[in-house]
């Protein structure tokens, strides 16, 4: 399952089905790929063309690396069936995607936990073990 984080840089690296038509020569020429998202709740489909400059292709391992902005198109909690289809090769990838909110480590995003056990406190140890 692919994970998409809203308001963050999302780069996906996936293994696709065998195809020779996706190969690019570094000049931006190659097959036109389309990212198709099918909402698992409403079954509505959205189409997002992937410009040849936005993806890279490793023909030896069938590894496709791409990034696609879905800002203002998806909401936190949505789940999609993902298809990637080529203009020549047809469907080359089928999978799923879940949408998550922004993942950051700022203090205001972290939950502050309070302990309910003030009687017993763990002691600092140097992790010495006795082997018998």
- CATH number for the domain that contains residue 70: 2.60.40.10
Number of domains in the chain: 1
For residue 33, is it within any domain?
yes
For residue 120, is it within any domain?
no
Q: pLDDT by residue (tens digit) across 40-99? A: 999 999 999 988 778 888 888 889 999 888 988 999 999 999 999 988 888 899 999 999
For residue 103, is it within any domain?
yes
Which residue range is the domain that position 105 belongs to? 2-109
Instruction: For residue 131, give both structure tokens.
Output: 């082997």
What pLDDT is recorded for position 56? 86
Rounded CA separation 94/1 (Å): 10
For residue 122, is it within any domain?
no
What pLDDT is recorded for position 113? 63
Task: Answer with the residue of higher pLDDT: 22 or 39.
Answer: 39
Q: Does position 112 have pLDDT exceeding 70, yes or no? A: no
For residue 124, is it within any domain?
no
For residue 55, is it within any domain?
yes
Asked if residues 55 and 65 have their Cβ atoms less than 8 Å apart, the reply is yes
For residue 89, is it within any domain?
yes
């Amino acid at each position: 399952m692919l994970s998409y984080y809203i308001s963050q840089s999302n780069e996906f690296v996936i293994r696709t089905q065998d195809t020779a038509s996706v190969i690019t020569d570094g000049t931006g020429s190659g097959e036109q790929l389309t990212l198709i998202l099918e909402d698992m709740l409403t079954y509505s489909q959205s189409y997002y063309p992937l410009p040849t400059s936005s993806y890279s292709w490793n023909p030896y391992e069938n590894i496709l690396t791409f990034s696609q902005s879905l800002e203002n198109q998806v909401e936190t909690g949505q789940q999609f069936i993902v298809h990637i289809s080529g203009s020549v090769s047809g469907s080359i990838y089928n999978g799923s995607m879940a949408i998550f909110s922004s993942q950051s480590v700022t203090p205001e995003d972290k939950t502050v936990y309070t302990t309910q056990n003030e009687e017993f406190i763990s002691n600092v140890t140097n992790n010495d073990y006795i082997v018998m």
